[in-house]
């Protein structure tokens, strides 16, 4: 077996170990374990590590404020449960961590709203997002939805994200959902994500980060980006050239 194959196996073992605390506490499910195996080049293992000549890519797609409109759900639930808290205009959103954009006296309130039942499951897809991921798959790419559960309501968030996928994409997409707090552990070619610091983690990411534009990431000009999902092919081509693939 060639060294590339051994490195792939080692990657899986390192990734799987990150799930051990959750497993021991009983809070992990197959979504956690699946993260270790996501986008693993099994064909490479079977043929001795030889590189595939196919041009298909492994595309990773973030959910919150990328595939789905997190801001709309936040504003809708705040109006229902805390109408006394003034909401922000889009240009006032300067931090990825939304609570940091609010005055200190509202920090705990806006942090807690994500734990309201239905917050995650009722999120609306961003325009053309559903069509885009289906197009990726139909054109031969491997597509995985990679999302980080909210640490303030991990169980609810994870459960509702699964339900959202089933509701919006169908039960067959459950196997394409990966929940992890560290996306650098996931193998892939391209990651569409709104978060500026998504590249920071335990591992050096092997994917190329493509921004999905939001007000708080506009000041970063060191990575390719898309403003709308209709542009995913262009971004994929540009990122592939930069990545050398």
Active site residues: 62, 64
Separation between Cα atoms, residue 218 and residue 186, nearest integer Å = 25
Helix and strand numbers, DSSP H then E, in the chain? 9, 6
Show the tokens assigned to 48. Answer: 């001795």
Tokens representing residue 45 in the block: 């293992």
Distance CA 234, CA 245 (A): 14
Strand extents, DSSP E, 63-133: none
**The two structure tokens encoding residue 11:** 């990657």
Question: What's the rounded Cα separation, in Å, for the pair 61 and 133?
Answer: 8
């Amino acid at each position: 077996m060639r060294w590339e194959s051994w490195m792939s196996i080692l990657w899986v073992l390192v990734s799987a170990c990150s799930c051990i605390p959750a497993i021991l506490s009983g809070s992990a499910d197959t979504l956690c374990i699946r993260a270790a195996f996501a986008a693993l080049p099994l064909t490479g293992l079977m043929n001795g590590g030889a590189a595939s000549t196919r041009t298909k890519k492994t595309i990773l797609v973030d959910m919150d404020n990328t595939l789905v409109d997190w801001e709309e759900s936040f504003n809708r639930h705040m109006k229902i449960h805390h109408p006394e808290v003034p909401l922000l205009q889009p240009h006032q959103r300067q931090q990825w961590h939304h609570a940091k954009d609010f005055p200190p006296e509202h920090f705990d309130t806006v942090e807690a709203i994500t734990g309201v039942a239905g917050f995650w499951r009722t999120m609306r897809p961003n325009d053309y997002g559903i069509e885009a991921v289906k197009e990726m798959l139909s054109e031969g790419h491997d597509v995985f939805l990679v999302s980080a559960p909210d640490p303030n309501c991990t169980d609810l968030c994870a459960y509702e994200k699964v339900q959202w996928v089933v509701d919006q994409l169908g039960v067959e997409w459950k196997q394409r959902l990966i929940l992890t707090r560290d996306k650098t552990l996931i193998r892939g070619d391209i990651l569409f994500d709104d978060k500026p610091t998504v590249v920071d983690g335990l591992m050096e990411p092997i994917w190329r980060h493509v921004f999905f534009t939001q007000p708080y990431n506009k000041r970063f000009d060191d990575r390719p980006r898309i403003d709308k999902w209709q542009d995913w092919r262009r971004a994929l081509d540009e990122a592939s050239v930069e990545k050398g693939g």
